[in-house]
Amino acid sequence: MTANSNPNENRQPHRILITGGAGFIGSNFVYHWYTKYPDDRIIVLDALTYAGNRQTLGNLETKENFRFVKGDICDRSLVDTLLKEESIDTVAHFAAESHVDRSILGPAAFVQTNVVGTFTLLEAFRHHWQDNERPENYRFLHVSTDEVYGSLGPDDPAFSETTPYTPNSPYSASKAGSDHLARAYFHTYKVPTIITNCSNNYGPYHFPEKLIPLMCINMLLGKPLPVYGDGQNIRDWLYVRDHCSALDVVIHAGQPGETYNIGGNNEVKNIDLVRMLCQLMDELAPELPVRPCEKLITFVKDRPGHDRRYAIDATKIKTELGWSPSVTVEQGLRQTVEWYLANPDWWKPLLSEEYLAYYQKVYA
Ligand code: NAD
Ligand code: DAU
């Protein structure tokens, strides 16, 4: 390739169905895809649960190549209609119940959306692909999590694609079930599924229930910063826009039937991460009810079954597809704090009665 050549020059436009596109990663992915491939047709299918926010996609609603459909991935006839009517060739499947604490409070919705919903999509896509005589360019990307691999000890090697599944929460168990279905559809029917298992994401449009946005928002409101247990649990943090670029590479160059682990090479203890956020907020926020923010850190009762450590070995996607993360955790956290400071109009309406009732249940 010459320095001036365009890798997308010979690329045929895609017609992509993005499920869960009004959620955190899905919406970042929609913006990524729309910006990079403006000639593609994008259909977002999202049920707009508490975690889905149509406002996030507001800028796109008037675009000709974009269509938003409010609907449930468990609705087979709706999915059949969309695949056919829009001649979909690519599915990027993000829709899920995604929060571990909610899965402990109420696991049923997790089995319904994550297992039954993924099954419904796979069945619909299988028929659509077969009816069109199995085109080679069709892809079904199943977006999953590193949590399916269970919990690591301090000296264990990071999760690779061959690490056995040991999910520990209703959330991760339901995601593991959906991964097995996606894998089986390739093995049995040769449906061109690809699975990705990614570590913890953070960045813009992250719902306030998750650690990083919850801490940022509580600092801005002068509320306690609830750290579970001893705060020594470790997560491997990936900036969401890096995740989106990895998924783009997987859709274009990944092999059907394969799994790719995606991670940030950024293992951080929860308490250290919260302290980093406190320092950034002290530095960047013009006004704070309590300063320094570290005064707000409060250790609270641990999450039941709390996984101790996650870490991703992302060698395969690096060596086979040439992807690696571009943002360090220091850069990404700074950008994220700046984003929450600049966008109270996005996050303030999410602190609804339902959210406060949930908060009360988990943290009371
Ligand atoms: P999210 O909770 O922010 O968004 C989920 C979206 O799915 C919401 O817009 C919601 O309205 C929609 N949805 C839920 N149930 C639906 C249904 N039955 N039909 C249609 N739409 C429905 O989730 P997220 O954090 O953006 O995660 C997206 C995907 O990535 C999930 O599959 C998750 O397991 C996976 N993942 C997340 C992370 C992370 O750190 N957030 C890391 C790895 C993998
Ligand atoms: O690893 C990928 C997973 O990351 C995704 O599959 C999930 O969808 C996503 O929610 C996330 O799961 P976690 O449970 O790791 O993320 P969460 O933000 O809920 O918590 C991160 C860590 O912080 C975890 O060790 C629990 C801890 N925590 C979390 C909250 C909300 C706290 O100490 N206090 C809190 O208030």
Residues 111-150: pLDDT tens digits?
999 999 999 999 999 999 999 999 999 999 999 999 999 9
The structural domains of the chain, ordered by start, are: 15-205+238-266+310-326 (3.40.50.720)
213-160-20-167 Cα dihedral, nearest 10 degrees = -80
The whole-chain average pLDDT of the chain stands at 97
| Ligand 2 within 6 A of CB of 243 | no
| Cα-to-chain-centroid distance, residue 291 | 32
Taking the centre of ligand 2 as the mean of its atom positions, its distance from the CA of residue 200, in whole angstroms, is 7
Active site residues: 146-147, 171
Residues 271-296: pLDDT tens digits?
999 999 999 999 999 999 999 999 99
17, 19, 24, best to mutate for ligand 1 pocket (most atoms within 8 Å of CB): 24
User: What ligand is nearest to the CA atom of residue 298?
Assistant: 2
Taking the centre of ligand 2 as the mean of its atom positions, its distance from the CA of residue 127, in whole angstroms, is 36
Taking the centre of ligand 1 as the mean of its atom positions, its distance from the CA of residue 287, in whole angstroms, is 33
210, 234, 310, best to mutate for ligand 2 pocket (most atoms within 8 Å of CB): 210
| Ligand 2 within 6 A of CB of 210 | yes
Query: What mean pLDDT do residues 98-117 have?
Result: 98
| Ligand 2 within 6 A of CB of 99 | yes
Q: How confident is the model at residue 364 (pLDDT cuts 50, 70, 90)?
A: confident
| Ligand 2 within 6 A of CB of 233 | yes
Please name the amino acid found at residue 55: Q
| Ligand 2 within 6 A of CB of 199 | yes
Give percent above pLDDT 90 in the chain: 96
Query: What is the reported pTM?
Result: 0.98
User: What ligand is nearest to the CA atom of residue 94?
Assistant: 1
Please name the amino acid found at residue 84: K
